């Protein structure tokens, strides 16, 4: 089993690669379409602005192959921006569209007494405890977030975990072999390592 880690020059690549190394999971950096050969599972970690991610993936000729991979229902884990780009549009995109794999929008947190970006540890409310991606996790696992925007899927049946931060938002989704999280498993210590381990081991 070889996991491909998409390197678009601005993702949280180092932490994600370290997590895979710690788990002794064979991993390969994906910087161009040819690098997808021999890959069994694909992870797109992301930080920063959605529009920068979209533009860089297009520049590296990975935008189309990424969409093809997901549409073929091949195993994919999108983290943070790797989650947000799955939707039709984001308030952050500034004219750039997402993949449109999932119907919905990505919105900025509304004004409140809470700080934005949402940064720190929060509990997840899992919608399906039998989902193998959550195997080995406690009832309400705490994970690490860093984000100002959050996806709003049209199909709420895809939501696999919720989180509350002033509002209730979709912290993770699943559709077939596609899983994506707004939180950062690679920064969520033992809980996050377990999630990555489950993904790499075929928990889809």
Query: Catalytic residue among 17, 118, 147, 184, which?
Result: 184
> What is the SS3 assignment for 25?
coil
CA distance linking residue 42 with residue 130, whole number of Å: 23
Q: C-alpha angle with apex 43: 1 to 130, nearest 5 degrees?
A: 75
Let me know if 186 is a catalytic residue: yes
Q: List phi, psi (to 5°) of 197.
A: -60, -45
Q: Active-site residue among 17, 50, 53, 186? A: 186
CB 155 within 8 A of CB 167: no
Rounded Cα distance between 69 and 73, Å, is 7
Which residue is catalytic, options 50, 80, 118, 147? Answer: 80
CA distance linking residue 106 with residue 93, whole number of Å: 9
CA 50, 19, 188, 159 dihedral sign is positive
Neighbours of 87 (CB within 10 A): 26
Annotated catalytic residues are 80, 184, 186
């Amino acid at each position: 089993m070889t996991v491909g880690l998409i390197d678009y020059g601005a993702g949280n690549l180092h932490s994600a690669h370290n997590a895979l190394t710690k788990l002794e999971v064979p991993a390969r950096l994906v910087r161009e379409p040819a690098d997808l050969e021999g890959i069994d599972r694909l992870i797109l970690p992301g930080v920063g602005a959605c529009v920068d991610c979209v533009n860089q993936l297009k520049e590296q000729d990975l935008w189309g192959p990424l969409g093809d991979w997901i549409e073929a229902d091949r195993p994919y884990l999108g983290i943070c921006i790797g989650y947000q780009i799955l939707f039709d549009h984001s308030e952050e995109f500034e004219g750039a569209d997402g993949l449109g794999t999932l119907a919905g929008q990505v919105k900025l947190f509304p004004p409140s007494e809470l700080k934005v970006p949402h940064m720190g540890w929060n509990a997840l409310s899992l919608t399906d405890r039998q989902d193998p991606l959550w195997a080995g996790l406690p009832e309400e696992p705490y994970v690490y977030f860093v984000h100002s925007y959050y996806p709003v899927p049209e199909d709420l049946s895809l939501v696999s975990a919720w989180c509350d931060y002033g509002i209730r938002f979709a912290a993770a989704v699943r559709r077939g072999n596609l899983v994506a999280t707004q939180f950062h498993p690679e920064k969520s210590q033992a809980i996050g390592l377990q999630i990555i381990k489950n993904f790499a081991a075929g928990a889809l």
